[in-house]
Amino acid sequence: MIRARKATMAPALRSFFHANSRPYHHFNRQLELGGVLSRPGRTFMFRKRGNPNWGRPMPPATVFCTEFELQVRHLHLTAEQYVVSAELRKWCEGNRNRCYIPEWLLDEWGIHVNADLSGAA
């Protein structure tokens, strides 16, 4: 009788693991690559694997202007006019510790910048 039980249980275990090859098995490539699987009452969304931008060229980097360059554009100045512009000098004196200003221009005007960048007073 024990032998008969073992004989009947073995096929049951084998059929339990191999009876339905469709649901949630890691060898089932349709679920992994298909994207959406719909069944009555349930919809499964599967994550696409890999980098979608693989092999594509990188987009060009965005170029940002400094506040100094924006001010020069606003005042419609050329590089030769920087030194003689009173408005630019006034802006540079007010923003010397906050914004980037070319060192040669600071030296030309004799403006000294606070070298302490910690922000402590």
Q: What percent of the chain has pLDDT over 70?
A: 58
pLDDT in tens, 28-54: 554 444 555 556 666 666 677 888 888
Q: Which residues pair with 38 in a beta bridge?
A: 43
Q: Mean pLDDT, to the nearest integer, of 51-74?
A: 90
Q: Whole-angstrom Cα distance, residue 56 to residue 1? A: 68
Considering the domain boundaries, does residue 29 fall inside one? no
98 pLDDT higher than 80? yes
Find the domain containing 85 and state its range: 52-121
Look at the pTM and tell me if it is higher than 0.75: no
Give me the phi and psi of 27, to 5 degrees please.
Answer: -85, -10
The conformation of residue 99, written as its DSSP 8-state character, comes to: S
Domain count for the chain, please give it: 1
In contact, 111 and 83? CB cutoff 8 Å? no
What is d(CA 67, CA 49) in angstroms, rounded to the nearest whole number?
A: 42
Q: Is residue 120 situated within a structural domain? A: yes
